[in-house]
């Protein structure tokens, strides 16, 4: 078990395996998972003045500003910190301004930067196939179904997400690198930023991650 009030920031480009790692850590250590996407959807659903403002921003396709993002996460962060609940931050902070805001609330115990080569990340995503019935996930390069395009469990025809294509993923990867470069520089020298090589898959890095958390 981990200490109360333990906080992890999880950084990783699309295809890095960040989501798989987050799922493992949540199950293993009972972390609360905080993702900006989930928080945004909750605030919009609550239909507060902030929620209405956020809804308008999202509807136009504009980027959510640092000020609005910080306002959205502040209440949930304070609630968890005050109740000494350990959590993983996924998708926040994304800029040095957001990191400075976070530092005024809590100092993260651990910052994990999940590294993966671009072409491998793209291959992981464009090879992904989903079962629309049971939700099983396959990959035509790394985890093939027994029968081509057919789910092993229920015989459903597997599908590919519309945005799981090379150009879209390549652009998302490049944007991530551009946006987070300043954030990585901000945390460089903090003593708790660890760069993890995930090119061999998440299973290969779990012992290293567990050691960092439990040390």
d(Cα 132, Cα 125) in Å, to the nearest integer? 17
User: What is the rounded CA–CA span in Å between residue 125 and residue 166?
Assistant: 9
Separation of alpha carbons 161 and 166, rounded Å: 12
Question: In sequence order, what are the residues at sequence separation of 6 or more whose Cβ sits closer than 8 angstroms to the Cβ of residue 178?
Answer: none
Q: In whole angstroms, how large is the CA radius of gyration of the chain?
A: 18
Q: What is the pLDDT of residue 43?
A: 87
Distance CA 178, CA 172 (A): 10
Q: Which residues of the chain have pLDDT under 50?
A: none
Determine contact, residues 171/179, Cβ cutoff 8 Å: no
Q: So what's the pLDDT on residue 175?
A: 86
pLDDT on residue 1: 65
pLDDT for residue 37:
80
Rounded CA gap, 142 and 62, in Å? 35
What is the Cα–Cα distance from 144 to 146, expressed in whole angstroms? 6
pLDDT of residue 215: 83
| Residues with active-site annotation | 18, 94, 128, 161, 172
β-bridge pairing 110-115 and 128-130? unpaired
Provide the edge-to-edge strand list for the sheet that holds 7-12. 32-35, 87-90, 7-12, 110-115, 193-197
């Amino acid at each position: 078990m981990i200490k109360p009030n333990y906080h992890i920031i999880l950084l990783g480009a699309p295809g890095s395996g960040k989501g798989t790692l987050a799922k493992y850590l949540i199950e293993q250590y009972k972390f609360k998972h905080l993702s900006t996407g989930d928080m945004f959807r909750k605030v919009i659903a609550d239909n507060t003045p902030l929620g209405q403002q956020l809804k308008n921003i999202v509807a136009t396709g504009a980027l959510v500003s640092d000020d609005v993002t910080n306002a959205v996460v502040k209440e949930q962060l304070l609630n968890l910190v005050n109740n000494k609940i350990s959590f993983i931050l996924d998708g926040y902070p994304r800029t040095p301004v957001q990191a400075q805001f976070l530092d005024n609330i809590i100092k993260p115990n651990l910052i994990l930067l999940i590294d993966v080569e671009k072409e491998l990340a793209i291959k992981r995503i464009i090879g992904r196939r989903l079962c629309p019935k049971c939700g099983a996930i396959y990959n035509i390069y790394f985890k093939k179904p027994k029968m081509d395009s057919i789910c092993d469990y229920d015989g459903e025809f597997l599908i590919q997400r519309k945005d799981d294509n090379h150009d879209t993923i390549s652009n998302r990867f490049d944007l991530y690198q551009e946006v987070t470069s300043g954030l990585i520089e901000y945390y460089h020298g903090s003593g708790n930023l660890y760069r993890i090589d995930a090119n061999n898959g998440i299973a290969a890095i779990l012992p290293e991650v567990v050691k960092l958390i439990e040390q």
